[in-house]
Amino acid sequence: MTENLDKQFMQRAIALALRGKGYVSPNPLVGAVIVRDEEIIGSGYHARYGDDHAEVVALDNASESVRGATLYCNLEPCCHTDKQTPPCAQRLIAEGISRVVIASLDPNPKVDGRGVEMLKAAGIEVETGLMHDYNLVINQNYFHFVKTGKPRVVLKIAQSVDGRISRSMDGQTWLTGRESVRLAHEWRSEFDAVLVGAGTINSDDPLLNVREFDGRDPGKVILSGNLNLNSSCKIFANAADSKTDVLVLTSDKTDAAKRESLSAKNIKVIPVQETQPGRLACTDILDTLAKANINSVLVEGGSQIFSHFVQEDAFDEIRLFISPIILGKGIAGIDAPDITQKRLHLVSEEVIGNDILLIYHP
């Protein structure tokens, strides 16, 4: 089969994989297509965490025998049993697949090339690396978490032309347009958790759920060094009915009675170390979230939280919306006198409605 056809079928596999966005984490996005005589005879994708893997779905959906056919998959087939799911590599061997084209090896230590070795040992032709770079992009949360053991942290900041995110600390200021709001809700569905500080909870009273996009709600993480939280806020009132966890990370020196009061509302209160009174250590925050199997975090504010993560170099990406408005005075998105100069790399820029979206990497 020609290289162009191989790329065409891998593109189809990746397009299928993207249908799982917002539903499969902490698993990766994976799609698969089975081809014979340049025609797709089976396809599938991993639709939800705990469901069948993409290769199995494609095999089950095949319109005819797959013996001698080629399978395209954007991630190496697994070779271990997990969550009662049998190894995909064994199933491919049993079904008689003769060639497998893979975008990326799976960095999971349980796989990490072993799936390819199993296929080759059975006499199956295996090729890797086709569209690997693109697969790294769509699965960057997964690859980052597996390789570093820490969640991938993205700061989402919306500001005015003059660099303000709000008029004051006491109230919410809407800056971006409807298109940007919808995109931000889509992002929420793709991350394991949304993180904000106590100030945002007390002043904005947000739900931190997904409303403008059809996707799953993320977990909610609130940082509060001293537990000065308004317990009547919606996020606490709705915690008992929430489909996802509400985690409050606080200083390990806070009063035990305060912790117990929140815990009684079906909220998980987790003490972490301080770097100074009332200020939580980002390394401990990320370690705590990793232990909770959270592999990606969308940080939504406010200013003190953004500044804290930047100051401790605890971020992997900044998504910055700039709205066509001048506030004149107000709160800066990142504002801490002891932050050292940091040069970022502009990855992309895009017009979203009337706003500009800039994406930066450290």
Closest CA to 333 of 361, 356, 362, 299: 299
Report, as residue numbers or ranges, the catalytic residues: 55
Q: Which amino acid is at 183?
A: L
Contact call for residues 207 and 354 (beta carbons, < 8 A):
no
CB atoms within 10 A of CB 34: 28
Closest CA to 302 of 331, 280, 272, 281: 331
Rounded to whole angstroms, how far apart are CA atoms 306 and 308? 5
Kindly write down the DSSP assignment for every residue of 35-53, as one continuous string: EETTEEEEEEE--STTS--
Contact call for residues 161 and 330 (beta carbons, < 8 A):
no
Rounded to whole angstroms, how far apart are CA atoms 32 and 39? 14
b/e map 192-228, b = 16+ CB within 10 Å: bbbbbbbbbbebbebebbbeebebbbbbbbbbbbebe
Q: Which amino acid is at 52?
A: D
Question: Is residue 358 helix, strand or coil?
Answer: strand
Kindly write down the DSSP assignment for every residue of 148-211, as one continuous string: HSS-EEEEEEEEETTSEEES-TTS----S-HHHHHHHHHHHHHSSEEEEEHHHHHHH-------
Question: Is residue 258 helix, strand or coil?
Answer: helix
Strands 317-323 and 152-160: parallel
